[in-house]
Amino acid sequence: MKRILIIAGILIALGLLAYPKLEGISGSSNNTASNNSRNSPLSVDVYVVQPDTIEDNIFTTGTLLANEEVELASESSGLIEEIYLKEGQSVEKGELLIKINDSELRAQLNRADFRLNLAEDREKRQTQLLEKGGISQEEYDATLNEVNVLRAEVALIEAQIAKTEIRAPFSGKIGLKYVSDGSYITPSTRIATLQDIDPIKIDFSIPERYAAMVEVGNKVEFTVSGMPKTLTANVYAKEPRIDTETRSLQVRAKSPNTGGQLLPGAFADLELTLSTINNAMMVPSISLVPELQGQKVYVVENGTVQPKSVQTGLRNETKVQITEGVAAGDTVLTTGLLQVRPGMAVNIGNVETE
């Protein structure tokens, strides 16, 4: 038993002497693995810069307007004799819509015509007498003056009769009517509306800082509630002054409305294209790294990473324009931006080109 205890003690002593050497071997192995991990290339995703076409857009809201709109009204008072218009009907310019009773004016016109005819006959006879010396020039001038007065009276009555007819001032569509046959109307009576909605107008405003950039012909894309597709219009006019209260510029565009689906008064979300830039160098927004002097990106060159300071331009939802600092074909990092250092070797994983 004593011998067993002595042997066990010797074994324990040898184990204690061997432990520091084993620990040293293990530590050396761990350090080697750490160094190997530190020196191994970093795996990154990249984006290859390609020329692209981008648009400088601003977003705003607007209201649809009829191309032409008028409240139909009568120039004279009287009883409606006949209504020719129908609600929702399309009419042509000059088409008769409502006729007001004009029997009294017609009677006056007939009387004036009779008097005019009699005066014209007398003027013709006196012309012959004047040539023969049968009457004086003064008598002839009085008769001629009477003829001219009666002609003016006939023209006046005809103009009054014309006012008893309400005609379409332009081609368009009739709205709801508010009168009936036999109604007595005056110039203030509400009759109906007439609207030309093809094309449709769009009124909107933009901040004054963009005023100088808006030009006739600029493209406008817009959507309205209830219509899922995006429609297109073009700017055709703008106010020549800035609104001092809102510090904005009022702009107007036109869009085709052949089917009549767009209605005046509707609210519209608009995207106005101020300019189009061709061959723009775009990179993902995530590639930009802020620094004290501006911004930079990391570019892969010959398997290693190099930083490049850049100047930025327009932005969209996912990308930013680089106006200075990169060229077409450059490979820009999109991942590993916090781990990379200048000159570090990298392994390229996913490559994006769009």
**Could you read off the pLDDT of 203-231 as tens digits, one per residue?**
999 999 999 989 999 999 999 998 889 99
- Collect all residues with Cβ–Cβ distance below 8 Å to 293 and sequence separation of at least 6: 309
In whole angstroms, give the CA distance from residue 62 to residue 51.
Answer: 34
Taking phi over 0 as left and psi of -120 to 50 as alpha, with beta for the rest, 265 belongs to: left
List of residues 6+ apart from 43 with CB closer than 8 A: 336, 346, 347, 349
Helix (H) or strand (E) holding 111: helix 103-132
pLDDT at 5 over 80: no
Nearest CA to 81 out of 182, 158, 185, 166 is that of: 182
Q: What is the pLDDT of residues 48-71, one digit of tens each?
A: 998 888 888 899 999 999 999 999
C-alpha to C-alpha distance for 265 and 262, rounded to whole angstroms: 9
Mean pLDDT, all residues of the chain: 87
Residue extents of the structural domains in the chain:
42-53+279-352, 59-66+197-277, 74-101+164-190, 106-155
The reported pLDDT for the residue numbered 22 is 39
Fold of 106-155: Helix Hairpins (1.10.287)
Cα–Cα–Cα angle for 255, 261, 265, rounded to 5 degrees: 75
Name the CATH architecture for the domain at 59-66+197-277: Beta Barrel (2.40)
The token duo for 103 is 């029997």
Q: What pLDDT sits at residue 39? A: 59
Lowest-confidence segment of 137-141, 166-170, 230-234, 268-272 by average pLDDT: 137-141
Q: Which CATH number fits domain 42-53+279-352: 2.40.420.20, 3.30.200.20, 1.10.150.20, 3.40.50.150?
A: 2.40.420.20
Phi-psi bin for 15: left (phi > 0), alpha (psi -120 to 50), beta? alpha
Question: Residue 7's pLDDT band (boundaries 50, 70, 90)?
Answer: low
Which pTM was predicted? 0.68
Q: Which CATH number fits domain 74-101+164-190: 3.40.50.620, 3.40.50.10800, 2.40.50.140, 2.40.50.100?
A: 2.40.50.100
